[in-house]
Amino acid sequence: MSANSDSCVLLFVKWPAPGKVKTRLAKQLGEMRAAEIYRNFVLDILDTLRNLDVSLMICFEPADALPELQNWLGRDYSYVVQSNGNLGKKMKNAFVQGFARAFSRLVLIGSDLPDLPADFFNLALSSLDTHDAVLGPSYDGGYYLIGFIKHAFLPEAFDNVAWGTDRVFAHTVRILKRHQTKLFVLPRWHDVDTLEDLKSLVARNRNTNFSDSRTFSFLQEQVAEVV
């Protein structure tokens, strides 16, 4: 992948073992199908990122999954093990590691956003030309993307946050404002965690380019519940 030398996307990925990923979906669709859906999510996100002029670090767990991940996704990416601790500690550490590699702009996303448009990544990165941080709010009250420029990185943005609640975005904004961080807010987007989220994913993409994606094809062929 050609890459802008000072910018990097941190992508959080889990090895897609049945029962270990998309656990809410697994309760509704079964562990095997949920794991396969997650595999397609990751591949579709990587397809989008490959077309961007940006470096990529795959921040993965569990720690012993590196050989399997490299066999699955390839060896062209930079792989970094997620740290121990809660989500905030994992994200904070990923930024610390990314900035230690001399990147000046980092944005972090999870792997629950298979249809996130490339334009959103480009907007996030370009916003860091004029802002200290960027945040992408999700419809459930959390956020789907967070980014910083190196000299304005704020580790406190990940401390004492009630992860998994509908207050994550608002709480994070308050922390950033308290530290006078110049923040750019992206348009809202959709995490995909439940069967209803999957149905919404299919409905909003019937006439978009995402209808040609791996995820869309798998859902149409293997998950009758979303059609």
pLDDT of residue 111: 95
Number of domains in the chain: 1
Q: Which domain holds residue 142?
A: 4-219
pLDDT of residue 102: 86
pLDDT of residue 37: 97
What pLDDT score does 5 carry?
72
Per-residue pLDDT at 205: 95
**Crossing angle, helix 31-50 and helix 214-222, to 10 degrees?**
160
User: Looking at the domain assignment, is residue 52 inside a domain?
Assistant: yes
Q: Is residue 34 part of a domain?
A: yes
- Report the CATH number that the domain containing residue 99 is assigned in CATH: 3.90.550.10
pLDDT at 1: 37
Looking at this protein, which amino acid is placed at residue 21?
V
Question: Is 226 inside a domain boundary?
Answer: no
Q: What are the backbone dihedrals phi and psi of residue 150, each rounded to the nearest 5 degrees, phi first?
A: -60, -50
Return the pLDDT at 16: 97
Q: Which two tokens stand for residue 129?
A: 């030309």
What pLDDT, on a 0 to 100 scale, did the predictor assign at position 156? 97
Mean pLDDT, consecutive 10-residue stretches, the chain (227 aa), reads: 73 97 95 97 96 93 97 95 96 97 96 96 96 97 97 97 95 97 97 94 94 95 89
- Structural domain includes residue 23: yes
| 227 inside domain | no
